[in-house]
Structure 1
């Protein structure tokens, strides 16, 4: 079976979100349309930004999902400094959790991005 897993993040402003994720994750886009843009993460895995369902963001008081970036444990704090130097909105400062040191930031639409160590 030929398939790809795509994680879709809703965005209200596609250009702003592409700029944010490109700078934050240091990725280039691999597919671009006026309302849908993807970043290849690995063979068969992509992160997509989509304005087609951005109305779901309006008035949403809480997010129940998040994108998680797993890095080597010794890189977590350095990434926190790099991202805060870029001015990201910090939702939760670095803290210890069951999987190690982690923190959470938000994209321009309030979608949560967690950084945690690789298991």
Structure 2
């Protein structure tokens, strides 16, 4: 069976976004081009940042990058504190959802990043 192995996030400035994601997730790019930068997530899956897809990125956002953490809810709250100390934009404060403790942040382009417990 063929499975997706790359998730592309459209950004306005790939190098700037790569610094943001690299700092946020403590990872280094495995591929860099002027408008396309990829990070290895493990198991052959990559997260890529692409600033060459379109001139207008103001359309609706319909996906999220999700960071699942062990040790929730304490680990989710701790990550929230860490990210707010870094000045990361929070669009949904920590709260309890049907799947556990969660919050949502945004990258510099408004792409959503959810933090939640492992299912």
Q: TM-score, normalised by structure 2?
A: 0.91
Is the CA contact 1:95–1:103 (under 8 Å) kept in the aligned structure 2?
yes
Gaps of 5+ in 2: none
SS of 1:57 mapped into structure 2? coil
Structure 2 partner of 1:105: 105
Structure 2 partner of 1:25: 25
Output the CA distance in 2 between the equivalents of 1:70 and 1:3.
20
1:37 has 2:37 as partner: yes
Structure 2 partner of 1:71: 69
Shift in Å, 1:55: 2.7
Is the CA contact 2:15–2:35 (under 8 Å) kept in the aligned structure 1?
no
SS of 1:63 mapped into structure 2? coil
Residues 62-71 or 20-29, more deviating: 62-71
Output the CA distance in 2 between the equivalents of 1:47 and 1:77.
24
Is the CA contact 2:107–2:113 (under 8 Å) kept in the aligned structure 1?
yes
Aligned-residue CA RMSD (Å): 1.6
SS of 2:102 mapped into structure 1? strand
- Between Structure 1 and Structure 2, which shows a larger proportion of helix residues? 1
- Relative to structure 1, is the Cα distance of residues 71 and 54 closer, same or farther in structure 2, using a 3 angstrom cutoff? farther
Output the CA distance in 2 between the equivalents of 1:52 and 1:113.
21
Is the CA contact 1:11–1:54 (under 8 Å) kept in the aligned structure 2?
no
Output the CA distance in 2 between the equivalents of 1:86 and 1:9.
21
Aligned residues: 117
Output the CA distance in 2 between the equivalents of 1:42 and 1:33.
21
The C-alpha deviation readout for 1:81-108, integer Å capped at 9, x for no partner, is 1000000010000011011000000000
